[in-house]
Each structure stands twice: as C-alpha cells, then as structure tokens.
Amino acid sequence: MEAELTMPVQLDADLLQTIAAIRDVDDAYLQRAQQRLDSLTKPLGSLGQLETVAAQYVAWREEDPPRICRKAVYVFAGDHGITDEGVSAYPREVTPQMVQNFLNGGAAINVLARQTGSDVVVVDVGVDTEFDRTSPLLHRKVRRGTRNFAREAAMTPEELNAAIRVGMQLAEQASAEGRTLIALGEMGIGNTSSASAITSALTGGPVSGLTGLGTGIQQERREHKAAVIEKALRLHFGDYRSIKPEPLEVLRCVGGLEIAAITGAVLGAAAHRIAVVIDGFICTAGAAVACAIAPNVRSGIIAGHLSQEPGHRVLLASMGVKPVLQLDMRLGEGTGAVLTFPLVEAAVRIYNEMATFQSAGVSEASKG
C-alpha cells in the first residue's frame, strides 16, 4: 500500500511562542541543589531516586527553598475512531461513562486524589457524546472523537493545533492558580492503539513488540491490534521505521485528541516552570512528542511509574526518563502519577528539613 503524501504540521503562532519560552534547566541551580543534598546527614546518594527527584524539582522550579503548592491531576478524555477496527475489549461508550464516574468521584483516580490531597480536573477534549453543560467538566471538545487512523488521518492540522492549545491553556491557568506540581492522566477507549503507533513511529521499534493487552484483550486480538497499527503506519508514512516521520505529523495521523492535549499541557507547564508527573503509556506518548519538538521540557518531567504495557519501557528509555514506581499498573487516568505525589513531596521535605552535618554537629565521612 502506498503511503499518503503528508506535509509537516505547522503550529499556530501562539503555540510556537509558548514553545520558544521553554528554557532548559540552569546548571547553577542543579549544582546548588546537589551540594545541599550532599551536605545532609546521610551517606552520599543513600536516598537514591528521592535525591534525584529533589534536585530535579529544585533546579526546574528555581526556588530555594522549594515549595509544592496546589497539586492537581488533569484527566483529558477523548474517543478514538480506531475502535471501529475491533482493537479494544470495551466499546467506546465506556469513555463518556467513565468521564461521568470521574465527575461523580467514584473512579480510582478520585480515590487516590483524595488520599494525596490533590484536585481532579476532568477535561473533555474529544469524547463522542454531549455532556450536560452545567456539570463540573471542563468543556474543551475539539471534535467528537478522532477519525479511524487505519483509513485516514486521525486529525486535521487545525484540529491538532486546537487540541494542543487546550493543554497549553490549562497549564497557563494552572500557573495563574499558583500550582507548582501537576499530574497528567487520560481516558479514551482505543488510546493504547494510538500510543503504540506513536511509540513505533518515534522510536522505529517493531509494532508487535510495542503493543500490549490494553484494557485486557486476549492474545488473538492483540495480534490483530498490532497488524492494524502496522498497516496504518505504512498507510501514513510508508517505511516509517527507516524515515523517522516528523513527530507532530505522527501525532496528527495516529494520535488522539486527549494525547495532543497532553502534549500541549507538557509544553505549557514547561513554559511556566511547573513540574509535571506523567502517568503511564498513553501520557508518555504525548510527553514524548513534546520532548521531540521541544527537548528542554524533559528536565521538568517526572515519570510516575512503569506501566505493564510493553511499549512504555521503550518510550521512557527513548526520552531518557527513569520511572519512580513500578507497581504493574496499566489503568491510566493519572493513577500512577498521583501515587507519585507523596514521594515528590517527601523528596522536597528531605531537601528542606533534614539537618546538615554542620548544623547537627555530625562528623562527615573521611575522604577516599
């Protein structure tokens, strides 16, 4: 099958302006943070990844002492036309049903957010239904679900820009509200197919090795799902493993509206120096696109956990990001990201409150 002729996506001027505002981490802040951690009453590096997270947070926020204020998880929801190909165990009607569950406070993400003292912000970017306009849902619908990317591009360039803008604007609002640490989550039946397609296109890895069981499909359907994704990638990009398609075009052709919003949220948060905890495979796909077009965002990303989806490990490795938790989770919603909040808070408290060798009158280790 011949590939469709595609042109690189052109981002709107305001989106480009946000990307231009993203700075890399200042090495001076990173060095000062590490010096502080090394001065605390413990063997060097003995708190492991807690120290890494503390130094990262301090350097990214450029605050000393660092603060964590008004934690929130943003759950972006959207439907996927690829479900027409029979790639999911659940019908797409589950997406709006779960959105309502979020709004009612009955989902796993609601429970974990209450446990960690975090706000839950639910955003309709592309659910294939019309919700009650009086509900607490943020109504940011770009369209009612993506197109079936096995047959045509999931989004037009205009729709992609609009979905990215949703995430960017919410990050800007988060900054205005004084939030310093946010988590990103998602809901969308069929979105692991998009995540696998994005991962394969960005990394050049084989679809068969990057496609998992999603919402719990059987092996036969997993093989069908991988075949559908492989065929779709060749439709849009031809020999995609050799040519390395342009990241935004990958997102447009095989991504999701909620994934594009996550890309925008990562970019927008980075422009405002908000630290972002990403969730699992689908969130990481959106974050990976953000890293590909604006590499400086990587320094502000904390990977909450390692999902059971096989493509997640590959995608995180390609980004150079190490997950904090490994709990064999694959739910989504932002659950793994929110579970990481207490560890980020613990890392910052260690940084702020632990005594130094000098202040405690404790002898340091001898050199050599």
> Residue 10's Cα: distance from chain center in Å?
22
Do the beta carbons of residue 233 and residue 348 sit within 8 Å?
no
| Amino acid at residue number 152 | E
Going by C-alpha positions, the residue among 321, 183, 341 that lies closest to residue 262 is 183
249 belongs to the catalytic site: no
Catalytic annotation, pick one of 4, 158, 333, 353: 333
Reduce the secondary structure of 164-219 to three states and give it as a string.
HHHHHHHHHHHHHCCCCEEEEEEECCCHHHHHHHHHHHHHCCCHHHHCCCCCCCCH
| Dihedral sign from CA coordinates of 211, 215, 221, 224 | negative
Going by C-alpha positions, the residue among 74, 97, 261 that lies closest to residue 167 is 261
Residue 67 vs residues 274, 319, 348: alpha-carbon distances, Å: 11, 26, 8
- The residues near 244 (Cβ < 8 Å, ≥ 6 apart) are 201, 202, 204
Strand 181-187 and strand 275-278: the pairing is: parallel
Place of tokens 């493509």: 311
Residue 75 vs residues 115, 261, 327, 328, 353: alpha-carbon distances, Å: 17, 10, 20, 21, 32
The residues annotated as belonging to the active site are 333
